[in-house]
Each structure stands twice: as structure tokens, then as C-alpha cells.
Amino acid sequence: MILLEANLKLILPVALLGAVVIFFIYRMYKMRHLLTSKVGPETSEHTLVLTDANFDKTISKGVTLVDFWAPWCAPCRIQGPIINDLANDMAGKAKIGKLDVDQNKRVAGKLGIRNIPTILVFKNGEIVKQFVGVKPKNTLIQEIEKHL
């Protein structure tokens, strides 16, 4: 009888520990899948995909907002849909683009991009504002409108 009582007292803690371990294994699997998936940037029809080849020409005239990102960066994946919404809202007023820093090291190095997401606002090829980290759409809209 004593052996049975001791076993019953251990069942609940062992079951809880097992559930916690299984939960963490599942979360690690999901995070690994998210960070290692080779998904390209999700863009809207108005979001420009910038590269080392087209970057200088794109920012040379008018107001351009560029999101520097990487596929493995979780905050970048939060910022991405905000940039796409912004591109749709600012169509015809300003250019909105994304540059993958892993695929376009020349531009990222030239501009000294060390943290992502970094968002730069250019006016006629000159940087007029820099943001680091996830920013809400209204903050980005206000900054673009200052320079239109």
C-alpha cells in the first residue's frame, strides 16, 4: 500500500514535467522552422524588392522608405506586413521597398546596417531619417509626409 501511495504522489509531478518538456520541444521545432524557412519577402503589389543592382537608382529621386531585413529575423517578420500596408497606402506618393541584407551585402555594408530591422527614409538619395526596430505604420507615414 505504501509503495502505491508513493507512486501516486509522483505521477502528477512527472506528468507535468513531461508536458512542459513536450511543449518546449514543440516550440523549438516551430521556431526553427520559422527561422530556417527559405521564404522570400512577402510583398504587396506596391512594395519594391530592392537589390544591390537597383538600389541606387531607386532611391535617387523622390522620397523612398527602405526596410532592411533578413528572413531569419523574427522582428523583421513582424515589420514586413506593416511595410506592405504602408506601400499600399503611399502608392503614388513615395516609394516603399525591402532589401534583404543577407542577399545584398554591398548596400547593407555601405550604409553601415548593423541591426535589423532598420528602416531608412531617403529624399533624393540622401538619408533623412533612420529607425531601428519594429515601428508602427502611423510613425512611418508621419515621417514620409514630412519629406514629401
DSSP bridge partners of 100: 69
| 73 flagged as catalytic | yes
Query: Would you list the DSSP string of 75-137?
Result: HHHHHHHHHHHHHHHTTTTSEEEEEETTT-HHHHHHHT--SSSEEEEEETTEEEEEEES---H
Active site residue 32: no
The backbone torsions φ and ψ at residue 6, rounded to the nearest 5 degrees and listed phi first, read -65, -40
> Active-site residue among 50, 59, 65, 76?
76
Q: How far apart are CA 95 and CA 63, in angstroms?
A: 6
Q: Which of 65, 73, 96, 99 is catalytic?
A: 73
Angle at Cα 61 formed by Cα 55 and Cα 64, nearest 5°?
Answer: 60
Residues assigned a catalytic role: 73, 76
